[in-house]
């Protein structure tokens, strides 16, 4: 059903696009000015100042109209003739004398705004390559936890594709801009679909309808934007035939964006789970939330820092993706933490180079260390949080001697501390008995994902081990409409790691009783 609906939508989109492009082919007499500025924002306004002056007295300058287009400018109502084109952006300026003889012309100006030396350009690309490398490292260390066929794997490769576009290369054209824009939109749509399918409970029907309505609007204006990227003639067509519609598209792009939808879903999800957040680490969650807010509203908070818009958007998408992966699949290792720490360092280095052109200033180095250390402690405070109830449960379980009593008591204590639909505890006696419950074993992971569990009614399982015995018990859990919080996940992990010795003792006692 979903596949047929998608095919129908794509067919309608293709027909709609083809018709609009055909209508716009009649437009001519315009000049498209392209600077060397990295594409900050499609349909962004006020990026650079441009003037087009006729050379000679046969052409009236007053008839020529101008609109900002992509990261440059577009002049229309421009008859054939000779012109002087001037451009200025920040401290850069350039001019070009052209003789217009075609229906429309594309002119390139050497404007960048923020100039870097060759060494600095190499260093910026080196930082980007490091960021790509760290993300690949994190993925390689966590991919075994992501189920086969999961859309998060596809999203990761799209994320790497977007990172590759952030490299500072010497050329840029509309086709590269289209490719980057398409990859980013597909990536964000897939992230939102994943949120709707796996995070947001289906019982919130009105909120889900609101999100789907917003996605419909976003899909429509993204198609229009792609047509504008593909054909400047289509942009001229909208300027002359439907300027109100163009303003609506631009306004919708600013107000209802894909990253803003993810922000709204995240805020809503946090609101409905706010009571599960423990007061001891509330400051850590506040810090994470403020960071996400700054990334999402960077354009509004720092309207003059246009050169960083693209990189900030990239970091926000990385932030969303890895938070989602860590949250869903309970991934945390020291190596992953180290890669996250270095990624934050690369980000700070990249941003500081735009302002100071070097990383040698003591203030920048000191600020980098302080911020890096701060966020390291914040993340470790959340991911390594210890639940005091684990010790109390351990002490109670030490008094139990019977297998069935132990399983029932452990089940009761877990349901008391974690919001779950159901829990099943199974102590295993035979070394191969675990194969009756899971399809394959991974001795390195405590958490067993749903696709490896033979009991379909449970969403995940936790393995209990002791010394060389990797499977002495299993804890099966069934989550409700809302996924477990990180604190609840850590509670189950800590409990599974701590009670291994008790389970082993009960197994030995039970086997001894059978012998006598």
What would the pLDDT profile of 328-381 be if each residue is shown by its tens digit? 776 666 666 666 767 777 777 776 666 555 655 435 655 666 676 677 767 766
pLDDT tens digit sequence for 160-219: 998 888 777 655 666 777 888 889 999 999 999 999 888 888 888 999 999 999 999 999
Q: What is the pLDDT of residue 354?
A: 61
Q: Does the pLDDT at position 458 exceed 80?
A: yes
Q: Where are the domains of the chain?
A: 118-199+277-383, 388-515
Q: What is the pLDDT of residue 62?
A: 59
Under 8 Å between Cβ of 467 and 448 = no
404 burial (CB, 10 Å; 0-12 / 13-18 / 19+) is exposed
Q: What is the pLDDT of residue 366?
A: 52
Quick one: pLDDT band at residue 1, thresholds 50, 70, 90? very low
Of 31-40, 95-104, 228-237, give the lowest mean pLDDT range.
31-40
Average pLDDT over residues 299-321: 80
Write the secondary structure of 457-486 as one string of H (helix), E (strand) and C (coil): CCCEEEEEEECCEEEEEEEEEECCCCCCCH
Q: Does the pLDDT at position 39 exceed 60?
A: no
Tell the CATH superfamily of the 388-515 domain: GAF domain (3.30.450.40)
Quick one: pLDDT band at residue 26, thresholds 50, 70, 90? confident
Quick one: pLDDT band at residue 118, thresholds 50, 70, 90? confident
Q: Does the pLDDT at position 132 exceed 80?
A: yes
| Helical axes 309-329 vs 258-272, angle rounded to 10° | 40
pLDDT, mean over the chain: 80
pLDDT tens digit sequence for 501-514: 999 998 888 877 76
- Nearest one of 33, 35, 36, 34 to 121, comparing CA atoms: 36
Quick one: pLDDT band at residue 76, thresholds 50, 70, 90? confident
Average pLDDT over residues 398-425: 90
CA 167, 361, 371, 113 torsion-angle sign? negative
Q: What is the pLDDT of residue 42?
A: 46
| Helical axes 309-329 vs 174-194, angle rounded to 10° | 30
Q: What is the pLDDT of residue 172?
A: 61
Alpha-carbon distance of 378 to 224, in angstroms, equals: 42
Q: Does the pLDDT at position 86 exceed 80?
A: yes
Q: What is the pLDDT of residue 141?
A: 79
Alpha-carbon distance of 76 to 341, in angstroms, equals: 50
Q: What is the pLDDT of residue 186?
A: 93
| Other Cβ atoms closer than 10 A to 359 | 13
pLDDT tens digit sequence for 373-410: 677 767 766 666 556 788 889 899 998 888 899 999 99
Residue 470 structure tokens: 């990797």
Residue with tokens 């952006």: 89
**Regarding predicted confidence, which is higher, 25 or 84?**
84
């Amino acid at each position: 059903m979903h596949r047929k609906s998608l095919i129908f939508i794509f067919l309608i989109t293709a027909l709609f696009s083809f018709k609009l492009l055909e209508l716009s082919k009649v437009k001519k007499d315009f000049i498209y000015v392209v600077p060397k500025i990295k594409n900050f924002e499609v349909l962004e306004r006020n990026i650079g100042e441009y003037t087009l002056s006729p050379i000679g007295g046969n052409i009236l300058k007053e008839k020529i109209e101008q609109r900002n287009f992509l990261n440059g400018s577009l002049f229309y109502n421009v008859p054939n003739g000779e012109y002087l084109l001037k451009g200025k952006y920040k401290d850069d300026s350039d001019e070009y004398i052209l003789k217009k003889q075609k229906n429309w012309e594309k002119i390139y100006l050497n404007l960048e705004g923020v100039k870097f030396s060759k060494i600095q350009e190499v260093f910026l690309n080196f930082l980007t390559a490091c960021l790509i490398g760290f993300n690949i490292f994190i993925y390689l260390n966590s991919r075994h936890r992501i189920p086969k066929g999961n859309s998060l794997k596809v999203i990761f490769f799209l994320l790497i594709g977007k990172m590759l576009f952030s490299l500072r290369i010497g050329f840029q054209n509309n086709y590269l801009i289209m490719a980057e824009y398409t990859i980013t939109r597909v990536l964000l749509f897939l992230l939102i679909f994943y949120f709707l399918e796996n995070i947001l409970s289906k019982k919130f029907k009105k909120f889900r309808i609101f999100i789907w309505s917003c996605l419909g609007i976003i899909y429509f204006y993204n198609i229009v934007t792609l047509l504008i990227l593909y054909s400047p003639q289509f942009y001229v067509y909208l300027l002359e035939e439907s300027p109100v519609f163009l303003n609506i598209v631009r306004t919708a792009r600013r107000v209802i964006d894909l990253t803003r939808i993810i922000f709204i879903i995240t805020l809503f999800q946090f609101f409905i789970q706010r009571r599960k957040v423990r007061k001891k680490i509330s400051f850590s969650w506040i810090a994470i939330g403020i960071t996400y807010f700054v990334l999402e509203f960077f354009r509004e908070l720092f309207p003059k820092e246009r050169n960083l818009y693209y990189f900030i958007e990239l970091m926000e998408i990385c932030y969303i993706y890895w938070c989602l992966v860590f949250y869903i699949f309970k991934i945390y290792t020291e190596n992953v933490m180290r890669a996250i720490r270095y990624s934050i360092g690369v980000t700070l280095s990249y941003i500081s180079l735009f302002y100071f052109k070097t990383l040698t200033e003591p203030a920048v180095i000191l600020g980098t260390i302080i911020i890096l250390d701060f966020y390291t402690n914040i993340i470790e405070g959340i991911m390594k949080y210890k639940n005091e109830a684990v010790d109390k449960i351990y002490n109670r379980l030490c008094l139990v001697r019977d297998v069935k009593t132990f399983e029932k008591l452990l089940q009761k204590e877990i349901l008391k501390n974690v919001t779950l639909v159901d829990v099943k505890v199974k102590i295993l006696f035979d070394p191969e008995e675990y194969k009756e419950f899971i399809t394959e074993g991974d001795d390195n992971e405590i958490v067993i994902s749903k696709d490896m569990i033979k009991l379909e009614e449970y969403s995940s399982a936790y393995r209990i081990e002791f010394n060389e015995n990797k499977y002495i018990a299993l804890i099966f859990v069934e989550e409700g409409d809302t996924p477990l919080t990180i604190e609840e996940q850590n509670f189950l992990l800590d409990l599974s790691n701590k009670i291994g010795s008790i389970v082993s003792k009960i197994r030995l006692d039970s086997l001894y009783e059978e012998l006598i």
